[in-house]
Amino acid sequence: MKKVIARAVQREDDEMCAEYDFRRGMRGKHYKDMQAGYTVTIHKADGTTLVKDVRPKEGAIVLEPDIRTYFPDSESVNKTLRCLIPLLSQKRKAKTKKT
């Protein structure tokens, strides 16, 4: 007699399978390595190998998760930094007057 294996029924609103266990996961484990760049090796079915070096785009800035809640997109970050630029130049002028 065969054993019947019970399968979890996955509803459309579920995003993860029940068997995934992230209790020992670590957020940001590979963050520094990704910032330094990495290499992807693709082995094709015809026996050839393709190697790609992946580097972050020039000028790419990564926001920490707690900052992302306040700045969800590039436009909000740029707008805030533009408001801070005049304050930075005033600070520099004040320092040069003291010396």
Q: Is 28 within the bounds of a domain?
A: no
pLDDT tens, position by position, 11-49? 566 677 888 888 888 888 877 777 788 888 999 999 999
Token digits for 53?
Answer: 């070096």
Q: Which domain holds residue 89?
A: 63-99
* pLDDT value at 9 more than 90: no
| Mean per-residue pLDDT over the chain, rounded | 80
Number of domains in the chain: 1
Does 50 fall in a domain? no
Per the domain annotation, does 96 fall within a domain? yes
Distance CA 49, CA 40 (A): 10
